[in-house]
Amino acid sequence: MELRFKLKGAALDNKEAYQQLTKSIPQPLHAAVHLLPASRLPKGPLSDLLKGFEIDMKFDSERGIFPIATEHDLEVYAYHVAGTIATLLLELVFRHYPVSISDSDRLRVVSAGEGMGRALQYTNIARDIVRDAEIGRVYIPSLWLAEQGLTPSMVINQPRDPKLIPLRRRLLDKAEKCYRDTREAISELPANVRGPVRATVTVYMDIGQVIRENERKFWNGKLKISRWRLFKGAWLAMS
């Protein structure tokens, strides 16, 4: 009897906690939260996502601590903060839109999604050199910087240094390779989401093209692309 009352009390506590949590969530997001089967998501990518936050917390420009030293460090970071999100997204896709696909093919598609996530993160880094420097972070590998006679501290002080241009181009090349290697897997996604995913990725990768077209420009705010260009890219991708 006592155990039953304790369990009932715990259930009430959980309900109250849930109600308190939902109060802090904007109303338009309630449906999204309700559809999120958090208990069914793999714990591995969620844990790895937290590791990405841990890497960000290691930055300390005043003490000269910059954790992205090598290209491998860059790849690990991109996986933790972006590849994991793509993996979780695809897990949700296959949860809500079941398709006849073998386990091995599903793993391959999810792995391709992880690579696509890294491609988008490399593009982010290439775009946000100035913004990152303003908060004391440099995601370009220190070894790459050394090849140009630079250090992370020098980037913090001069984030528009022309010597960064070839390194930014190198990031975009890396993003393009990841994109080319994984884009075919989109065709194996459920039909309901295939078009929107392709459009989203295509439009996002166009950011890299705009950066190439304005090679000597560094943005300290969000890069703006014309609505017509966004619409055209999305339309062609959906088609």
According to the model, what pLDDT value does residue 38 have?
62
Using one digit for the tens of pLDDT, what is the confidence trace for 161-190? 999 999 999 999 999 999 999 888 888 888
Min mean pLDDT across 40-44, 54-58, 191-195, 209-213 is at 40-44
- Residue pair 172/212 in contact (Cβ under 8 Å)? The answer is yes
Is 8 a residue whose pLDDT tops 50? no
Q: Which two tokens stand for residue 237?
A: 């991708």
Min mean pLDDT across 3-7, 17-21, 65-69, 94-98 is at 3-7
Q: Which two tokens stand for residue 175?
A: 């993003």
According to the model, what pLDDT value does residue 52 have?
94
What is the spatial distance between Cα 172 and Cα 118, in angstroms, rounded to a whole number? 11
DSSP string, 2-67: HHHHHHHHHHHHHHHHHHHHHHTS-GGGHHHHHH--GGGS-HHHHHHHHHHHHHHHH-BGGGTB-S
Min mean pLDDT across 18-22, 78-82, 88-92, 96-100 is at 18-22
Portion of the chain with pLDDT greater than 70, in percent: 77
CA distances (Å), 101 to each of 107, 108, 153, 184, 239, in order? Answer: 10, 11, 49, 16, 24
What is the spatial distance between Cα 239 and Cα 236, in angstroms, rounded to a whole number? 5
According to the model, what pLDDT value does residue 6 have?
41
- Helix 103-127 vs helix 84-96: crossing angle, to nearest 10: 140
Global pTM reads: 0.79
Q: What are phi and psi of 28, to 5 degrees?
A: -60, -20
What is the spatial distance between Cα 126 and Cα 205, in angstroms, rounded to a whole number? 12
Instruction: Give the confidence band of 212 by pLDDT, cuts at 50, 70, 90.
Output: very high
| DSSP reduced 3-state for 239 | coil
Is 41 a residue whose pLDDT tops 60? yes
Instruction: Output 106 or 127, whichever has higher pLDDT.
Output: 127
Instruction: Give the confidence band of 101 by pLDDT, cuts at 50, 70, 90.
Output: confident
According to the model, what pLDDT value does residue 28 have?
67
Is 68 a residue whose pLDDT tops 70? yes
Closest to 126 (Cα-Cα) out of 218, 35, 192: 218
What is the spatial distance between Cα 187 and Cα 224, in angstroms, rounded to a whole number? 29
According to the model, what pLDDT value does residue 5 have?
43
According to the model, what pLDDT value does residue 4 have?
46
- Residue pair 225/206 in contact (Cβ under 8 Å)? The answer is yes
| DSSP reduced 3-state for 132 | helix
Is 234 a residue whose pLDDT tops 90? no
Beta bridge partners of 65: 60
Average pLDDT of the residues in 114-121: 94
What is the spatial distance between Cα 52 and Cα 159, in angstroms, rounded to a whole number? 23
Q: Which two tokens stand for residue 164?
A: 């960064």
Residues present in the chain in total: 239
Is 14 a residue whose pLDDT tops 60? no
According to the model, what pLDDT value does residue 201 have?
87
